[in-house]
Chain A
Amino acid sequence: TVSLQVIWDLISNRQFCSYKVKTKTQQFCRNEYNVTGLCNRQSCPLANSQYATVREEKGRCYLYMKVVERAAFPARMWEKVKLSQNYEKALQEIDENLIYWPHYMRHKCKQRFTKITQYLIRIRKLTLKRQRKLVPLSRKVERREKRREEKALIAAQLDNAIEKELLERLKQGTYGDIYNFPVHAFDKALEKQDVESETESEEEEEEEEEEDEDVGKREFVAADEIEESDLSDFEDMNNVKASDDEEEEEEEESEEEEPPAKSKGKTPLKGPVRKKRAYVEIEYEQEMEPASKSKAS
Chain B
Amino acid sequence: GREEKNTQAKSKCKGKKEKKKEKRAEEAEEKGPESESAETSSSTRPALPPTFSLSEIKNKQRRQLMFMKLKQEKRKQKLELRKKRRKEREALGDKAPPKEVPKTIENQRVYDETTVDPEDEEVAYDEGTDEFSAYFNKLINPKVLITTSDRPRGRTVRFCEQLATVIPNAHVYYRRGLALKRVIPQCISRDFTYLMVINEDRKVPNGMILCHLPDGPTAHFKVSSVRLRKEMKRRGKDPTEHYPEVILNNFTTRLGHSIGRLFAALFPHDPQFQGRQVATFHNQRDFIFFRFHRYIFRNEKKVGIQELGPRFTLKLRSLQKGTFDSKFGEYEWVHKRHEMDSNRRKFHL
**In the assembly, what is the distance between CA of A151 and CA of B106, in Å?**
12
Q: Per-residue CB proximity of B274-292 to A under 8 Å, as 1/0?
A: 1010101010111101010
Q: Quick check: is A208 within 8 A (CB to CB) of the other chain?
A: no
**In the assembly, what is the distance between CA of A184 and CA of B299, in Å?**
10
Contact of B264 among A223, A229, A265, A266 (CB under 8 A): A229
Known contacts A146-B224, A158-B280, A162-B305; A229 and B246 CB within 8 A of each other: yes
Known contacts A149-B287, A229-B269; A167 and B282 CB within 8 A of each other: no
Nearest Cβ on chain B to A22's Cβ, whole angstroms: 35
**In the assembly, what is the distance between CA of A229 and CA of B141, in Å?**
13
**Are B337 and A141 touching (Cβ within 8 A)?**
yes
**Are A153 and B247 touching (Cβ within 8 A)?**
no
**Are B274 and A224 touching (Cβ within 8 A)?**
no
- Chain B, range 198-227, C-beta contacts under 8 Å to A: 222, 224-225
**In the assembly, what is the distance between CA of A176 and CA of B179, in Å?**
47
Residues of B within 8 A of A233 (CB): 269-271
**Are B252 and A156 touching (Cβ within 8 A)?**
no
Binds B, one of A13-21, A33-41, A80-88, A250-258: A250-258
Nearest-neighbor residue (CB-CB) of B264 within chain A: A229
Known contacts A149-B287, A167-B301; A162 and B269 CB within 8 A of each other: no
Q: Quick check: is B324 within 8 A (CB to CB) of the other chain?
A: no
Residues of B within 8 A of A269 (CB): 298-299
**In the assembly, what is the distance between CA of A266 and CA of B298, in Å?**
6
**Are B270 and A225 touching (Cβ within 8 A)?**
no
Nearest-neighbor residue (CB-CB) of A165 within chain B: B247
**In the assembly, what is the distance between CA of A149 and CA of B221, in Å?**
14
Residues of B within 8 A of A278 (CB): none
Known contacts A162-B280, A253-B274; A265 and B304 CB within 8 A of each other: yes
Q: Quick check: is B343 within 8 A (CB to CB) of the other chain?
A: no
Residues of A within 8 A of B300 (CB): 167, 170-171, 179, 181-184
**Are B246 and A155 touching (Cβ within 8 A)?**
no
Size bracket, chain A contacts: 35 or more
Q: Quick check: is A287 within 8 A (CB to CB) of the other chain?
A: no
- Chain B, range 249-275, C-beta contacts under 8 Å to A: 249-252, 260-261, 264-265, 269-271, 273-274
**Are A155 and B106 touching (Cβ within 8 A)?**
yes
Nearest-neighbor residue (CB-CB) of B252 within chain A: A223
Residues of B within 8 A of A165 (CB): 247, 249, 280
Q: Quick check: is A194 within 8 A (CB to CB) of the other chain?
A: no
Nearest Cβ on chain B to A172's Cβ, whole angstroms: 12
Residues of A within 8 A of B313 (CB): 149, 153
Nearest Cβ on chain A to B2's Cβ, whole angstroms: 49
Q: Quick check: is A213 within 8 A (CB to CB) of the other chain?
A: no
- Chain A, range 136-166, C-beta contacts under 8 Å to B: 141, 144-146, 148-149, 151-153, 155-156, 158-159, 161-163, 165-166
Q: Quick check: is A228 within 8 A (CB to CB) of the other chain?
A: yes
Nearest Cβ on chain B to A163's Cβ, whole angstroms: 5
**In the assembly, what is the distance between CA of A223 and CA of B274, in Å?**
28
Nearest-neighbor residue (CB-CB) of B127 within chain A: A228
Q: Quick check: is A227 within 8 A (CB to CB) of the other chain?
A: yes
Q: Quick check: is A197 within 8 A (CB to CB) of the other chain?
A: no
A161, A178, A253: residue with the most chain B Cβ atoms closer than 10 Å: A161
Contact of B284 among A155, A166, A178, A262 (CB under 8 A): A155
Nearest Cβ on chain A to B150's Cβ, whole angstroms: 8
**In the assembly, what is the distance between CA of A25 and CA of B141, in Å?**
66
Contact of B261 among A129, A152, A224, A227 (CB under 8 A): A227
**Are A148 and B287 touching (Cβ within 8 A)?**
yes
**In the assembly, what is the distance between CA of A129 and CA of B176, in Å?**
13
Residues of B within 8 A of A209 (CB): none
Q: Quick check: is A79 within 8 A (CB to CB) of the other chain?
A: no
Q: Quick check: is B99 within 8 A (CB to CB) of the other chain?
A: no
**In the assembly, what is the distance between CA of A156 and CA of B285, in Å?**
9
**Are B264 and A166 touching (Cβ within 8 A)?**
no
Q: Quick check: is A175 within 8 A (CB to CB) of the other chain?
A: yes
Nearest Cβ on chain A to B185's Cβ, whole angstroms: 16
Residues of B within 8 A of A146 (CB): 224
**In the assembly, what is the distance between CA of A129 and CA of B104, in Å?**
50
Q: Per-residue CB proximity of B97-140 to A under 8 Å, as 1/0?
A: 00000001110000000000000000000010000000010100
Q: Quick check: is A9 within 8 A (CB to CB) of the other chain?
A: no
Known contacts A227-B260, A233-B269; A152 and B276 CB within 8 A of each other: no
Residues of B within 8 A of A162 (CB): 247, 278, 280, 282, 291, 293, 295, 305
Q: Quick check: is B143 within 8 A (CB to CB) of the other chain?
A: no
Q: Quick check: is A212 within 8 A (CB to CB) of the other chain?
A: no
B265, B271, B300: residue with the most chain A Cβ atoms closer than 10 Å: B300
Q: Quick check: is B187 within 8 A (CB to CB) of the other chain?
A: no
Nearest-neighbor residue (CB-CB) of A181 within chain B: B300
**In the assembly, what is the distance between CA of A230 and CA of B248, in Å?**
10
Q: Quick check: is A232 within 8 A (CB to CB) of the other chain?
A: yes
**Are A158 and B274 touching (Cβ within 8 A)?**
no
Nearest-neighbor residue (CB-CB) of B106 within chain A: A155
Q: Per-residue CB proximity of A217-246 to B under 8 Å, as 1/0?
A: 000000111011110110011000000000
Q: Quick check: is A130 within 8 A (CB to CB) of the other chain?
A: yes
Question: A181-B299, A229-B246, A259-B236 given. 9 additional CB < 8 A pairs?
Answer: A149-B287, A162-B295, A163-B305, A170-B297, A170-B300, A182-B300, A225-B248, A229-B261, A233-B269
23 residue pairs from A and B, CB less than 8 Å apart:
A145-B222, A146-B224, A149-B225, A149-B287, A149-B315, A152-B286, A152-B287, A155-B106, A158-B282, A162-B247, A162-B295, A165-B249, A166-B305, A170-B297, A184-B300, A184-B301, A224-B250, A227-B246, A229-B246, A230-B246, A253-B274, A265-B304, A266-B298
